[in-house]
Structure 1
Amino acid sequence: MGGRDIESWKARGVALRVFVYVFVTHLFAGFVWILFYVGGHADK
């Protein structure tokens, strides 16, 4: 493996991690939003 191959592999790994973190963060934010929405519309 050349140096460029390793850098490319690392860059793909970082990009994948960023994508996963952004996706999970948005998923969690959506879940929290749903909790607030359902809680606000619950019968009291």
Structure 2
Amino acid sequence: MSLEPARDPSTEERKFPRGLVVRLFAYLVAGHLFAAFLYLLFVLGGQNQ
């Protein structure tokens, strides 16, 4: 039976889980790509009038 010392939450770094950071970055990139695609559609659609 191993006993680990109690961790002090005030000294421990507060980090986001790695999966959450990767997912957030992917959503940001995908969201910006989708917004750029919509912008391109509106720009090209406005030129045809």
Give the Cα separation in 2 of the matches to 1:24 and 1:33.
15
Unpaired runs of at least 5, structure 2: 1-15
Quote the sequence identity (%): 15
Unpaired runs of at least 5, structure 1: 35-44
CA RMSD of aligned residues (A): 0.5
Displacement of 1:24: 0.2
Bigger radius of gyration, 1 or 2? Answer: 2
The list of structure 1 runs, each at least 4 consecutive aligned residues, that deviate by more than 4 angstroms after superposition, is none
TM-score, normalised on structure 1? 0.74
Higher helix residue share: 1
Counting matched residue pairs gives 34
